[in-house]
Chain A
Amino acid sequence: MKDGVYSVHELNQYIKTLFDHDGSLRLVKLEGELQDVKLYPSGHMYFNVTDEAASISGVMFDHDVAGLDFKPKNGDKVLLIGSVSTYVKTGRYQIYVRAMYLDGAGAKLLALKKLREKLEKEGLFSRAKRNINRYPKAIGLITARGSAACADLVTNITRRYPLVNVYAFYTSVQGKEAPKEIVNALKKAYAFTSKLDTIIISRGGGSSEDLDAFNDELVVRTAFTSPVPLIAAIGHEVDFTLVEYVADIRASTPTAAAEYATIDKREIYEQLDTCYESMTNSLNARIQLIRDKLHLLMNRPFFINPSSIYQDKLNNIKLTKENLENAWHLYLTGKINDLSTRKERLEAINPARVLKRGFALLRAKNGKVIKQVEDVEVGETMETVMSNGKIYAQVTQKEKHV
């Protein structure tokens, strides 16, 4: 907004917020006659709603139109439920219809609404929902004999969880007798000899079926008193029946009800496999760990070659022994060398050898070796020792070198 001046769009947008913030326009119930009904290829439906004094335009979008159980036409007296708002582009207000009921249907709806409010006030809908045992031993079915719903339930329940016993408490599900029969079937199920884990109350889907039995006050009250969890699969997406409000679980189809009521055996098999795998893996891992530790220990030199413990000492002894031997050998060699040297020296001075070379040893009469001239007297006889004998010679003359 500029200087207090609206643009058209701004104004329309503002007016729209006024409508949208008005609580009493958000949920409007309107009675009137349809005029100018036009169904567009988009699936949306446009019309006027009139009475003797006035008219309002209305629109119903494709999704809601698809849920209608009758084909609206000009002149139909209807009860509409929706909200009133404006269309920004044109600034026109209109009713955005979410649900449409033919007159008469409207009265029934009102009665149903009153019953719903009454039961709600009594707390039938607000009780805490109970958990379903998905591993049931016995399931009770409240359904029509030979119905598609019954077949779907049985097939899916037994396929998913074959361990369960399925007990059927057959009843009609529509018609005048249906409420009474349903009540009896429920009571029979409650009193059944085998304790049921779950009760499923179901009727097949279909378009615009008569769901009155499941809105019957006694049926609803009886369903409420179920001693075990109750699953309702009434098979009508648009309207909730009152039985579905008191049930612990509302399933959209009998198959869905079977899924709520049981665990799939494949899930169990999978779980068992997973358990086995985790169990085996972690135990194997643990054993491997121990094995690795053992391996590490076994690889210690101590275990691979036990003699390594005393090998060092053994080596020491060996070395010492060798050293000793070497030393002894050295000592001995030394001694031998010593001896041979001495022998050679002895040999060198052996007088016999000298004699062999032609020298002679002279001895005086007194036996002393004559080493110098003074040791002998002229005329004295000397013993001259030769290599191979002795000669006795007389000294005739002495001459001393100067």
Chain B
Amino acid sequence: MSEKKKDETIDFEGSLKRLDEIVEKIESNVLPLDESIKLYEEGSKLIKKLEGALKDAEKKMAKVIDTNAIGSGK
């Protein structure tokens, strides 16, 4: 059985939530500028990471894993 390893699992939902939080914070304009810039950098990185993970996953041929096959291997 060779279950293909997914790239270090990303908590997509959590990451998107964090992203929303970042956008909200930046939009609120209450943080000092340097903090906003730091958040912006974090947000940009996060976006890149999520997009990358999604694109990578798209490229891979997603297929069903037959649990019966796994079962017989055990």
Partners in one complex: yes
Residues of A within 8 A of B23 (CB): 275, 278-279, 282
| Per-residue interface assignment for chain B, residues 20 to 40, with 1 indicating a CB less than 8 Å from any chain A CB and 0 otherwise | 101100110100010011001
Given A272-B19, A279-B23, 11 other A-B residues pairs in contact with their CB atoms under 8 A: A135-B12, A140-B67, A154-B64, A163-B54, A170-B67, A271-B19, A275-B43, A276-B43, A278-B23, A279-B26, A282-B23
Q: Tell me the bound Cα distance from A268 to B54 in angstroms.
A: 9
Tell me how far the C-beta of B4 lies from the nearest C-beta in chain A, rounded to whole angstroms.
Answer: 9
Contact A283 B9 (CB under 8 A): no
A279 touches B22 (CB 8 A): yes
A153-174 Cβ-contact flags toward B at 8 Å (1 or 0): 0100010001111111110000
Give the number of chain A interface residues (Cβ < 8 Å).
Answer: 36
Given contacts A163-B6, A290-B33, contact A168 B64 (CB under 8 A): yes
Residue in contact with B16 in the complex, picked from A154, A164, A271, A290, CB distance below 8 Å: A271
B65 and A167 within 8 A (CB): yes
Task: Report whether B36 and A283 are in contact in the complex, using a CB–CB cutoff of 8 Å.
Answer: yes
- Whether, in the assembled complex, A38 has its beta carbon less than 8 Å from a beta carbon of chain B, the answer is no
Interface residue from B37, B51, B64 paired with A272 (Cβ < 8 Å): B51
Are A162 and B43 in contact, with the CB atoms below 8 A? no
Which residues of chain A have C-beta atoms less than 8 A from B63's C-beta?
154, 158, 166
Interface residues of B (CB under 8 A from A): 3, 6, 9-10, 12-13, 16, 19-20, 22-23, 26-27, 29, 33, 36-37, 40, 43-44, 47, 50-51, 53-54, 57-58, 60, 62-68, 71
Given A137-B9, A283-B37 in contact, is the A162-B67 Cβ separation under 8 Å? no
The CA of A108 and the CA of B21, in the complex, are separated in Å by 55
**Is A286 an interface residue when CB atoms closer than 8 A count as contact?**
yes
Assess whether B54 is in contact with A141, with CB atoms less than 8 Å apart.
no
Residues in chain A near residue B67, CB distance under 8 A: 140, 167-170, 188-189, 192
- Which residue on B lies nearest to A281, using beta carbons? B27
Question: Contact check: which of A133, A269, A282 meets B54 at CB < 8 Å?
Answer: A269
Question: Separation in Å of the A137 CB from the closest CB of chain B?
Answer: 6
Whether B19 and A162, one on each chain, are in contact in the complex, defined by CB atoms closer than 8 angstroms, is no
Pairwise interchain contact B47-A272, C-beta atoms closer than 8 A = yes
A265 CB-CB contact with B under 8 Å: yes
| The 9 nearest A-B residue pairs measured at CB | A158-B62, A162-B57, A135-B13, A135-B12, A282-B27, A163-B57, A168-B64, A166-B64, A162-B58
Cβ distance A130 to chain B, nearest Cβ, rounded Å: 16
